[in-house]
Amino acid sequence: MNKELTIIRSEAEDYLLVLRKRYLNVLQMIKDRGYQLVTGVYENIELKDFTKMVVVANCVERDRLNLLATDTNDNGVYIFFPNDSNIGISSLYKLFRKMSERGCKHGIFINNGKITSASMIAINQSAPKMKIELFDEEFFDLCVIHHELVPEHQILSTEEKDNFLKKHPLPYNNLPIILSCDPVARYYGIEKGQIVKIKRVSLLGGVTDYYRICVNSNLMSLSDSH
């Protein structure tokens, strides 16, 4: 029995170590997007302090990691770490309620399990009124944009996009693309119709700028995206 308890305790400690790393990478993503955190920031939190923060009565309460931020337009963004392993309608409506209480129309859902088909339908139906981003917790095992092989990506502002299209009057369908499901696109929250500048560095060619337009993963038409 003692051996079993030791194994359970060891597995719990391993998960807390992983969860702390993923939490810190979520904070990094928020920062890389240019968002401002409203709630407390624990970028340098030690494991023992992190454990005190999330463990209640020997249970990991992931929702104690929930965050509130504002985006580059000063709109509220709610980052939600649900406790439920399977994300059903009740968990989803809990997120919607918390978003509504804070005046947010943008939610980032960091889940640690499966999302039911009913929840996916509800998320799709909510799309006109609110933006919901879904991430598996494992996505944050690393910060994808900080990998040495990933070039710098920059989302063009509306003005920069207009200037680019005036300078390069190509039909939207002729522009190179980046899929919305691309890990870098997901990390930055790049939306359909946005144009991204990618800086690639080579020993012979120096720095070269490439441009990609974001399209939905199902390759829907871009005719209504501008």
* Residue 116 DSSP label: -
CA-based nearest residue to 25, from 43, 13, 37: 43
Average pLDDT over residues 39-43: 70
Question: Does one domain contain both 63 and 92?
Answer: yes
Question: Does one domain contain both 8 and 62?
Answer: yes
Question: Does one domain contain both 167 and 82?
Answer: no
pLDDT for 1 beyond 70: no
pLDDT for 33 beyond 90: yes
Write the CATH number for 195: 3.90.940.20
Residue 178 falls inside a structural domain: yes
pLDDT in tens, 109-144: 999 888 888 888 988 888 878 999 999 999 999 999
Write the CATH number for 83: 3.40.1340.10
Q: What is d(CA 144, CA 66) in angstroms, rounded to the nearest whole number?
A: 22
Average pLDDT over the chain, rounded to whole?
86
Residue pair 98/120 in contact by the 8 Å Cβ criterion: no
The amino acid at 180: S
Provide the domain count of the chain.
Answer: 2
pLDDT for 98 beyond 60: yes
Question: Does one domain contain both 113 and 188?
Answer: no
SS3 state of residue 26: helix
The predicted model scores a pTM of 0.86
Q: What's the pLDDT at 9? A: 59
Residue pair 60/30 in contact by the 8 Å Cβ criterion: no
- Where in the sequence is the domain holding 120, given as residue range(s)? 1-140
Residue 18 falls inside a structural domain: yes
Q: What is d(CA 3, CA 211) in angstroms, rounded to the nearest whole number?
A: 57
Residue 62 falls inside a structural domain: yes
Tokens for 111, please give them: 């889940």
The amino acid at 98: K
Tokens for 71, please give them: 């985006």
pLDDT for 226 beyond 90: no
Question: Does one domain contain both 53 and 121?
Answer: yes
Q: What percent of the chain has pLDDT over 70?
A: 90
Strand partners, 108: 79, 133
